[in-house]
Amino acid sequence: MAPPLLILRDIQLTIGGKPLLEGAEISVSPGDKLALVGRNGSGKSTLLKIAAGALEFDKGERFFQPDATVRYLPQEPDLTGFKTVLAFVEDGLGPNDDHYRARYLLEQLGLTGDEDPATLSGGEARRAAIARTLAPEPDVMLLDEPTNHLDLPAIEWLESEIASMRSAVVLISHDRRFLQDLTRATVWLDRGRTRRLEKGFGEFEAWRDEVLEQEERDQHKLERKIVNEEHWVRYGVSGRRKRNVGRMERLAGLRSEFRDARKALGDVKISVAEGKVSGKLVIEAENVSKSWGDRPIVTDFSMRVLRGDRIGIVGPNGAGKTTLINLLTGALEPDEGKVRLGASLELATLDQRRVALQADMTLKDTLTGGGGDWVEINGEKKHVIGYMRDFLFMPEQARTPVSRLSGGERARLLLARALSLPSNLLVLDEPTNDLDLETLDLLEEMIADYPGTVIVVSHDRDFLDRVATSVIVAEGGGVWREYAGGYSDMVAQRGFGVSGAPAAAKASAKKAALAPTTSAPRAEGKRKMSFKQKHALETIPARIEQLRAIRVKLQLTLDDPALFARDRATFDKTSKQFAETEAGIARLEDEWLELETLREEIEG
């Protein structure tokens, strides 16, 4: 076994008189893919800074191999002092590193390299910092929330790029799917100490709950009662995990209602359907279109949103997700078509820019509106301290000014405030930003229990799988399409994710097929199709029809709303077969198109 590249041993650090790290340890060997997890405020980012040599510690040992290269991606990269983004990225390269890779990574991340760092947005600065970290292909990469400010195509590209690299990785992220797909071991930072699980993040949460439950049993054996509110917060997480099963069953039921409602409405005229769904119709969009200048943002879009739906909206940055939400909620008039809103709608939004929070107000006053000790939730009064605890705040934080809250705590406060306002339509724009995994559990639970309708924009694939009854996807050119189920269900039905890579691959394949080849001498005289090509051109349509028939049968199986809960193995197998069938159809269609183009070229 190769010796470790990086070792942190017995790291101790006290900040503001309060111990933050009390014996934390990490060992990184070549090729390791480690998830570093823990609650907001537990010291994950601090420990990563210590590993990168960017922060001193009180006691302990930090060691890395003298010839090892280490690159660190901070949450807030500093690009000052560089004239261009390319100069910033190339500054991180070693003497033997490939400078072409710097340009390649910037292009993949949507940058040219000629941008002025002073004019970059937060998302663009994050992309530049990712390129700088990945460009030298270091021995160790320390990545602190690399998916922040990235859209889904960029997240999926980054995931693929990291997986293809031989670098060891220590990764902090709130994106469960990103962690599950990349990591093979997990380091849990809890109460200043670390524990290591030699399995990826997918196995972590169940293991964590077992550890906490065993601790609780041990404490009861010693007749020590848990009286500290911090323990309540910590062990409350375990209970939420247990309720996940019930929540997923409710979600399956909602997805069933979604499919049934759409099928029923599809067979009935609008006037009759309105009568049947009286009191249930929230939004009806009919042939809605919207353009900005010559660019179509929404084209001929129709849908119905019924009470209780949980609608996810996904697409690349700039696709028009906010515009679509504004059209659906009546905040923006369409160029064509019409949007009808249901009666007595009360809209609440989660403001991710945090402009709704006043820095000098206390946490308690923010939730109560500045007076009293009670919050009214769905017509019932609840004491503000109890409501705070629902969102993992301690009672002593009631008089804490908003300005002293961390980013994650502010995100939780915004969530608590949004859900405390009277509403029956909740619009959440990127609600998972700055939330730790425990708070994500809380958010999922709140959405499951919310009695109204939810529209959520998110780049978090796992989050959408856990909450959405349907997903609306930007197909390009202003086209938006709705798919039943969560993100994974959409991928199974569509055949690919949000990146749109298959379209690019088709264009590339077609271009390659039509381009003259240089690998063999070109025959003199009139070109002819080979027997194999003629046979394929004649038989491919029948093969396509056979696959389409198979696809119909698979779709009927997947349309069973109870299949996921009843037989997960069959659901997964059928979903995989559906995706493979879709890919097979697309591949045959491309092959037929190339051959037909060749035939027309020869005959014409």
Q: Read off the pLDDT of residues 440-479 as tens digits, 9 standing for 90 and up.
A: 887 888 888 888 899 999 999 999 999 999 999 998 889 9
Least confident span in 8-22, 230-244, 517-531: 517-531
Residue 225 has pLDDT above 80, yes or no: no
499 Cβ contact partners less than 8 Å away, ≥ 6 residues apart: 152, 153, 156, 157
User: Hey, which of 66-80, 273-287, 338-352 has the most confident mean pLDDT?
Assistant: 66-80
Residue 254 has pLDDT above 90, yes or no: no
Q: What is the pLDDT averaged over residues 252-264?
A: 59
Who wins on pLDDT, 349 or 53? 53
Residue 107 has pLDDT above 70, yes or no: yes
Going 493 to 494 to 495 to 498, the CA torsion angle's sign is negative
Quote the pLDDT of residue 53. 93
> Which domains, ranges and CATH numbers included, belong to the chain?
6-214 (3.40.50.300), 244-345+457-496 (3.40.50.300), 501-517+526-603 (1.10.287.380)
Rounded distance, CA 584 to CA 495, Å? 10
Residue 268 has pLDDT above 90, yes or no: no
DSSP helix/strand/coil, 153: helix
Q: Average pLDDT, whole number, for the chain?
A: 81
Quote the pLDDT of residue 551. 83
Q: What is the pLDDT averaged over residues 79-98?
A: 92
Q: What is the pLDDT averaged over residues 233-245?
A: 55
Quote the pLDDT of residue 54. 93
Contact between 226 and 219 under an 8 Å Cβ cutoff? The reply is yes
> Regarding beta strands 374-377 and 380-383, do their DSSP bridges make them parallel or antiparallel, or are they unpaired?
antiparallel
For 443-499, give the secondary structure using H, E and C: HHHHHHHCCCEEEEECCCHHHHHHHCCEEEEEEECCEEEEEECCHHHHHHHHCCCCC
Quote the pLDDT of residue 48. 95
Residue 531 has pLDDT above 80, yes or no: no
Share of the chain above pLDDT 90, in %: 36
Quote the pLDDT of residue 239. 55
Around Cβ 92, how many Cβ atoms within 10 Å? 18
Residue 407 has pLDDT above 80, yes or no: no
Q: Sorting pLDDT into bands at 50, 70 and 90, what band is 419?
A: confident
Quote the pLDDT of residue 242. 57
Residue 199 has pLDDT above 80, yes or no: yes
- In the DSSP assignment, the letter for residue 524 is S
In sequence order, the β-bridge partners of residue 28 are 6
- Kindly give the residue spans of alpha helices, DSSP state H, lying in 91-189: 99-108, 122-134, 152-164, 176-182
Quote the pLDDT of residue 431. 83
Q: Read off the pLDDT of residues 548-567 as tens digits, 9 standing for 90 and up.
A: 888 888 888 877 777 777 88
**Model confidence, pTM:** 0.68
Contact between 158 and 114 under an 8 Å Cβ cutoff? The reply is no
Quote the tokens at residue 519. Answer: 């690998």
Residue 51: exposed, middle, or buried by beta-carbon count in 10 A (0-12, 13-18, 19+)? buried
Single out the residue of 198, 208, 206, 148 nearest to residue 178, CA to CA: 148
Q: Read off the pLDDT of residues 110-168 as tens digits, 9 standing for 90 and up.
A: 899 999 999 888 788 999 999 999 999 999 999 999 998 888 889 999 999 999 999 99
Quote the pLDDT of residue 509. 37
Q: Read off the pLDDT of residues 475-528 as tens digits, 9 standing for 90 and up.
A: 888 999 999 889 988 888 888 777 644 333 333 333 333 344 333 333 334 456
> Regarding beta strands 140-144 and 168-172, do their DSSP bridges make them parallel or antiparallel, or are they unpaired?
parallel
